Amino acid sequence: MQTFQQRFLVLLLCFWVSSLYLMAQNDIQYYRPYDQRGVNMFETPKTTLTEESGFKVRIGGHFAQQFQALSHESGLEKEFGLDTLIKIKPGFNLATANLNIDAQLQEGISVSLVTYLSSRHHPEAWVKGGYIQMDKLTFLKSDFVDKVMNNLTLKVGHFEINYGDSHFRRTDNGNAMWNPFVGNYILDAFTTEIGGEAIYQSKIGLLGVLAVTGGEIKGDVTEPVVRPQDDKAKRSPSIIGKLGYDKQINDKFRARVTGSVYHTASSASNTLYGGDRTGSRYYLVVEPENATISTRFTSGRYNPGFSDKVTAFMGNVFLKYAGAEFFGTYEMANGRSNTETDTRKVSQLAGDLLYRFGKREQFYVGARYCMVTAEQLSGTSTTDVTLNRIQGSAGAYVTKNILAKIEYVNQNYNDFPTTDLRYNARFSGLMVEGVIGF
């Protein structure tokens, strides 16, 4: 009896695994594919990859592994002989992985759940977010609603906020399929918040987004601590808006121009520029001797420390003619920490220039320039600092699910005070990355 039960359990397990495999191969309606097909896709489209409208589950994943050969230096070492930076040598970084589960509940309604299985910051698995997305509301049996939903997408839950367009091209832990480079921008506007979002996309190319969220990366019902500069504790929602134009003009030329705004009047802990808890791709660059991979997980990025009273604007231009494409970003923001009375400013200018070639544009070469200027808080005063980065990259989609890329990066830190480890610091070198997405 025991042998029969064991065989039955093994057979049941095999059947379950096979079912998951088969379900994992199915596309669902109105979603961004996790492989090469998702390149240069922004908001989820109002067209579908499948006409099947019944219940289905799609299970996928992302895996990324890098070989890092970077060197770094600080002006404190060169000019004052201080041994301040951790020693780094060429080697493999920690592999990162995402688990993607998408379920189509009925025609035009789906749920999405992304879990980080392995990340630089957290050794354990943890949920990025989950939400329900509605592109059709046929259950209401209303011709008027059906007509409205032809151009409208509704999203409710805990999701990646749709501020700007750069978050659609960035690396998200194990998901590096859509980023033609290895690293993200220096000023990395990315976070997840709880709320609702409406996206309007017309057939003539007009685009509009309006979202209201809780303004913080996680839910919290406790009363915020009263800050010295305020007479009472506050917690306000975030308002996110976007207007734009996105049109395939002809067979070769596509143009997209958008402007986005993010505003929260008051937050206990806003994370617009610190919401990526998975970590940077440049491990331990310009970090102190006692640094660890998990505690100093944002190496190479700049976080202005805006946790309260944040207003930000981002403008983006995406132009693609045949295989040549340009993606530009200009961003400006102001905010303050919970201990400050006045707001500070930060801005970023960045541009990606790429050329994709091959029968399915499976090969590419590209370059990126990024510059950040900021009012850096130094004790009780501020200092104007500048960071700039140059990246050169080449990559190949071996299949639509496998990407290999190599990058050269050079980043400089300017005008930081001598009390800061980043004083006249720089890092440079090569990164090699392999990515799988399905």
Both structure tokens of 236:
């306000």
Average pLDDT estimate for 4-25:
45
pLDDT digits (tens, 9 = 90+) for 234-282: 788 999 999 999 999 999 999 999 999 999 998 889 999 999 989 999 9
Q: Does residue 260 belong to any structural domain of this protein?
A: yes
pLDDT confidence band for 230 (50 / 70 / 90): low
pLDDT classification of 2: cutoffs 50, 70, 90: very low
User: What's phi and psi for 376, nearest 5 deg?
Assistant: -85, 130
Does position 12 have pLDDT exceeding 70, yes or no? no
For the segment 409-422, the average pLDDT, to the nearest whole number, is 96
Residue 226 pLDDT class (50, 70, 90 cuts) = low
pTM summary value: 0.90
Q: What pLDDT was estimated at residue 324? A: 98
Distance of CA 247 to the CA centre of its chain: 23
Ranges 77-81, 92-96, 349-353: which has the least confidence: 77-81
Mean pLDDT of the residues in the chain: 91
Contacts of 135-144 with CB under 8 Å at 24 or more apart are 135/29, 135/30, 135/44, 135/46, 135/108, 135/109, 136/107, 136/108, 136/109, 137/108, 137/109, 138/106, 138/107, 138/108, 139/106
Lowest mean pLDDT among 33-42, 123-132, 296-305, 360-369: 123-132
pLDDT value at residue 23: 45
At 13, the pLDDT band (50, 70, 90 cuts) reads very low
Assess if residue 207 is contained within a domain.
Answer: yes
The answer to the question of residue 371 being in a domain is yes
- CA triple 197-200-206, angle to 5 deg: 140
pLDDT value of position 377: 87
Task: Kindly state the average pLDDT of the residues 344-369.
Answer: 98
Give the residue numbers spanning the domain of 349: 9-437
Residue 95 clears pLDDT 90, i.e. is over it: yes
> Using H for helix, E for strand and C for coil, what is the string for the chain?
CHHHHHHHHHHHHHHHHHHHHHHHCCCCCCCCCCCHHHCCCCCCCCCCCCCCCCCEEEEEEEEEEEEEEEEEECHHHHHHCCCCECCCCCEECCCEEEEEEEEEEECCEEEEEEEEEECCCCCCCEEEEEEEEECCCHHHCCHHHHHHHCCEEEEEEEEECCCCCHHHCCCECCECCCCCCCCCCCCCCCCEEEEEEEEEECCCCEEEEEEEECCCCCCCCCCCCCCCCCCCCCCCCEEEEEEEEEEECCCCEEEEEEEEEEEECCCCCCCCCCCCCCCCCCCCCCCECCCCCCCCCCCCCCCCCCCEEEEEEEEEEEEEECCEEEEEEEEEEEEECCCCCCCEEEEEEEEEEEEEECCCCCEEEEEEEEEEEEEEEECCEEEEEEEEEEEEEEEEEEECCEEEEEEEEEEEEECCCCCCCCCCCEEEEEEEEEEEEC
- State the pLDDT at residue 326: 98
Q: Is residue 307 part of a domain?
A: yes
CA-to-CA distance for 313 and 183, rounded, in angstroms? 22
pLDDT above 80 for 232: no
Kindly report, residue by residue over 166-195, the tens digit of the pLDDT. Answer: 999 999 999 999 999 999 999 999 999 999
* Residue 4 domain-assigned (yes or no): no
pLDDT at 3 over 90: no
Residue 15 has pLDDT above 80, yes or no: no
pLDDT digits (tens, 9 = 90+) for 50-90: 778 889 999 999 999 999 999 999 999 888 888 889 999 99
Q: Is residue 1 part of a domain?
A: no
Residue 50 is part of a domain; what is its CATH number? 2.40.160.10
Domain count, the chain: 1
Query: Could you read off the pLDDT of 21-39 as tens digits, one per residue?
Result: 444 457 889 999 999 999 9
Q: Of 36-45, 71-80, 427-436, which range is least confident?
A: 71-80
d(CA 308, CA 90): 39
Which residue has 């993606």 as its token pair? 327
- Give domain status of residue 2, yes or no: no
